Amino acid sequence: MIEKLLYNIFRSKEAVSYPEISDASEKALLAEAKETIDKVFGRSLRIRQVDAGSCNACEWECIALTNPVYDVQRFGIDFVASPRHADVLLVTGPVSVAMVEALKKTYDATPTPRLVIACGDCAKDGGVYRGSYAVTDGVHNIVPVDGYITGCPPTPASLIRGIVDIVAGRIK
């Protein structure tokens, strides 16, 4: 055991570089996101992400939006801690019964005009949890939804595409 520990401590390790976004369509998507947000809001877009009882897969993909590969903050998309500072509520999960009141209060605390985006299959219709006594089978059963981003979980690129399309009014 000691030998393995010493080996791991003293061996040389290769540095792994961050991959660049090489796909031209993803680069164009990020540029379109900045242009759309500037046109619609005239400033940056503030998102309050609400976990309403999910398995956390969608949250991981939302967090990936802020990593060095996607870095959506440079395009004016930022996650905020308070719904009072948000333009968009990004709700994940099938909305557990325990989260109904919290989601309603978060919705009420978000200033108008606001957008509500249901992120992931669970937020759309309950996903794999549909029909359970512990969930409400989707965000639309609790608060009005302006758009859906499907996937289990949706990729960071599909999150960006969905946010841009919903903000621009192209999809529901």
Tell me the pLDDT tens digit for each residue of 14-73: 654 544 555 677 677 777 777 888 887 777 889 999 999 989 999 999 999 998 888 888
> What does CATH list as the number for 43-168?
3.40.50.12280
Q: Is 159 left (phi over 0), alpha (psi -120 to 50) or beta?
A: alpha
CB-count exposure of residue 172 (10 Å: 0-12, 13-18, 19+) = exposed
pTM of the model: 0.80
Extended strands (E) in the chain: 45-51, 77-79, 88-92, 115-119, 147-149
Report helix angle 24-41 to 156-168, nearest 10.
30
Q: What is the domain partition of the chain in residue ranges?
A: 43-168
